[in-house]
Amino acid sequence: MVDADTGPREEAFVRARTAILGLVDRAFGPESNPPLEDLFTLLDHAISRREYYLGEPWNVLENVRRNFSLALMFAINRATDRAPRTARTFYRSLAADLLDQRLAAHQKGDPFSFILVNWDCLLENSLYWCLREAGGFRRADVDYCCYTSPLDVTSPHQPSILQRALGIFNIKVIKLHGSTNWLLCPNCNRMYTGLGGNHEQQHSYVVPQYCPKCSPGGASGAEEGGVGSPELTPFLITPTFLKVFDNPHIQTSWHNAQIELAEAARVVFIGYSLPQADYHFRTLLRRAIRGDINVEVVLTPADRPARNCPRVARPAYAAYRYAEFFGEDRLTIHLQGTEGYFRPVVARDSLKGKLERLRRRFGHLPAPRN
């Protein structure tokens, strides 16, 4: 639902929703609710073959697909921004612990990394909230392990590839399917993110943005969006059976994910169901994780089949898929969910106490380099 008093971002969302629903009604029938995989595969198939579908040429379908991606970005960013207070407090407390561990490991340390297959930015937003509260901007940063650029001057994010050289404590967040805070220039192929910026996320990523490097007049031309200014596009690997990973940014992300997994002394899966259809990621896991590494999996009780579950039905449960994939002898399954798994870490101190400790740590660091 959209409020009657809409701003530019809501208007953009309404336009996208109208185009999408019109196509869905014609393709699948009125009031249908098709899986995202079916809809994106239908669009990608027609677009890749430069074909018509339902009387629409491929370039019109390409615009519908882009609008669909914008609608997803809007919906996910809005849900992230409006997460319940208890959830925000929990993830901010966890983020404060992660920052504390990263600073304690010093510059040459590499205590952990995150490999994400989802699009949302809850982890990054929580880390940046802690950095803002603890005075840590340009002292620590999210490292996407590919070449990123700040979306505008309000974003304190430093390009991931430069962070170590600038003496910044990097926290590796490798996103294999793109992100709802990534925008790509179709001309120069730069990837922008507004991490930590002053704008609301829906505004930053749904209202049209233009490349400041390719627009006539530079940044000022990009703000105006004049003739010749390339409009930035969402960077999401959508749930289609025709996934394409030919962009250099995403290829770099996958390469770094393989290195992190190959060098890991401990691998923990959190809330990931290891579906059979995700064969790209399953292949990466098979190639990268060493046979002598113990694997932990954080799921919920509903993810484990009952003792009397028929064998034919067991592959529908994530715990069974993990046991089949890794073998039970090297697998530890936790069934208390994400918050239950991290609760001992989060409960060690109050969020206020953790932020105060981070302020002291950042206060003892050298001044950030320009």
User: Tokens representing 329?
Assistant: 């002898």
Write down the pLDDT at residue 116.
97
Are 170 and 64 within one domain? no
| Helix residue spans in 136-243 (DSSP H) | 201-206, 219-224
166 CA to centre of own chain: 24
Helix, strand, or coil here: 302? helix
Taking only the tens place, the pLDDT of each residue in 240-258 is 777 778 899 999 999 999 9
Residues 6 or more apart whose CB falls under 8 angstroms from that of 243 comprise: 237, 280
Residue 290 main-chain phi, psi, to 5 deg: -70, 150
Taking only the tens place, the pLDDT of each residue in 299-357 is 999 999 999 999 999 999 999 999 999 999 999 999 999 999 999 999 999 999 999 99
User: Tokens representing 17?
Assistant: 């929703």
Contact 131, 175 (CB under 8 A): no
Q: Tell me, yes or no, whether 120 lies in a domain.
A: yes
Q: Tell me, yes or no, whether 271 lies in a domain.
A: yes
For residues 123-152, one letter each, b for 16 or more C-beta atoms within 10 angstroms of the residue's C-beta and e for the rest, the string is bbbbbbbbbebbebbbbbbbbbbbebbbbb
Are 77 and 133 within one domain? no
Distance CA 66, CA 69 (A): 5
Are 102 and 197 within one domain? yes
Are 17 and 96 within one domain? no
How many distinct structural domains can be found in the chain? 3
Distance CA 306, CA 286 (A): 27
Q: In what order do the strands lie in the sheet with 178-184?
A: 148-150, 191-193, 178-184, 233-236
Are 145 and 13 within one domain? no
87-114 average pLDDT score: 95
Last residue of a domain, one of 47, 66, 81: 81
**pLDDT exceeds 70 at position 220:** no
282-292 average pLDDT score: 96
Are 64 and 102 within one domain? no
Q: Which candidate, 107, 116, 259, 92, places its Cα nearest to that of 175?
A: 116
Are 66 and 95 within one domain? no
* Residue 329: CB atoms within 10 Å: 7
User: Tokens representing 68?
Assistant: 């669909």
Question: Which residue has better confidence, 329 or 6?
Answer: 329
Q: Which domain holds residue 12?
A: 8-81
Taking only the tens place, the pLDDT of each residue in 152-202 is 888 899 999 999 999 999 999 999 999 999 999 999 999 999 898 876 555
Are 51 and 112 within one domain? no
Are 105 and 200 within one domain? yes
Q: Tell me, yes or no, whether 190 lies in a domain.
A: yes
Are 53 and 91 within one domain? no
